[in-house]
């Protein structure tokens, strides 16, 4: 709430009627809703066609990401890219991306905790020692031969 005075000297009070959280959204420029150009939003049929097009393109990208999960390729990155395409037009996708971003940020902060870092470094070192031991046993038993060339003994 801001106070001031007008030309007559009377106190004037300016009331901020914005909802909590609006300032953060305006600051980031990430309000919920369609990001279609104004001329598209002004015409209902054009906007509906625009939404269908965005949905189909986003679906194709998400589908390609799902295919890449078991195959070589950046599956999760492509899926989140498709979600970002959907988020340009659909509130539900914007909310999913915000939730995902919040969870990733929280996980990154937890990973930077010194106790968690020590634990992760310790587990990585133990894993590397186990892998080295398994490789040592393999080389001792079979020598430097590929598994598909091992003869029955």
Question: How much is the pLDDT for 30?
Answer: 56
Query: ∠109-68-49 over CA atoms, to 5°?
Result: 90
Question: How much is the pLDDT for 151?
Answer: 65
Spans in the chain with pLDDT lower than 50: 1-2, 5-6, 12-29
d(CA 13, CA 2): 6
Q: Contact at 8 Å (CB) between 55 and 69? A: no
pTM of the predicted protein model: 0.51
Q: Contact at 8 Å (CB) between 39 and 52? A: no
Question: How much is the pLDDT for 16?
Answer: 45
Domain locations along the chain: 33-112, 113-153
Question: How much is the pLDDT for 41?
Answer: 74
Question: How much is the pLDDT for 20?
Answer: 46
Helix spans in 69-113 (H): 75-87, 91-111
């Amino acid at each position: 709430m801001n106070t001031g005075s007008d030309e007559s000297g009377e106190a004037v009070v300016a009331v901020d009627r914005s909802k909590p959280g609006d300032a953060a959204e305006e600051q980031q420029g990430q309000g919920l809703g369609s990001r279609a150009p104004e001329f598209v939003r002004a015409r209902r049929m054009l906007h509906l066609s625009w939404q269908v097009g965005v949905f189909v393109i986003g679906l194709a990208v998400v589908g390609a990401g799902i295919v890449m999960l078991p195959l070589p390729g950046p599956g999760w990155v492509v899926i989140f890219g498709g979600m970002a395409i959907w988020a340009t037009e659909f509130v539900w996708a914007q909310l999913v991306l915000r939730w995902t971003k919040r969870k990733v940020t929280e996980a990154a902060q937890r990973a930077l905790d010194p106790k968690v870092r020590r634990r992760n470094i310790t587990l990585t070192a133990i894993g590397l020692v186990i892998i080295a031991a398994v490789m040592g046993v393999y080389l001792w038993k079979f020598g430097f031969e590929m598994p598909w060339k091992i003869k029955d003994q």
